[in-house]
Amino acid sequence: MPNIKSAKKRVKVTAAKALRNKMAKSQLHTTEKKFFAAVESGDKAVATAAYTAAVKKVDQSVAHGILHKNKAAHKKSQYTKKLNAMQ
């Protein structure tokens, strides 16, 4: 445990930021799962709506520093391929 006041604050701030990042990442994974489930169901309209939500969540993750921009581009490309492969 830190003894210095500023170090104690750093521990609190770091814990709060880690929790925020964990929540954002969890939301991203949930949105991703919903998209893949929609693709598996075969309903194009539901999959398109889920695709839009997933891409938006990926872009927000990049803006908040949760994901690297190249990883986000890779994920969005993966989603697009899955959606376009649906017939």
Q: Which amino acid is at 68?
A: H
Q: What is the DSSP letter of 56?
A: H
pLDDT, one tens digit per residue, over 55-74 is: 999 999 999 999 999 999 99
Residue 54: the pLDDT is 97
pLDDT, one tens digit per residue, over 13-59 is: 999 999 999 999 999 999 999 999 999 999 999 999 999 999 999 99
36: Cβ–Cβ under 8 A, 6 or more apart, which residues? 82
Work out how many domains the chain is built from and give that number: 1
Which domain, by its residues, includes 45?
5-85
Structure-derived torsion over alpha carbons of residues 77, 33, 58, 79, reported in degrees to the nearest 10: 10
Q: How far apart are CA 82 and CA 35, in angstroms?
A: 10
CATH number, domain of 73, equals 1.20.58.110
Residue 87, pLDDT > 80, answer no
Q: How confident is the model at residue 1 (pLDDT cuts 50, 70, 90)?
A: confident
Residues in the chain: 87
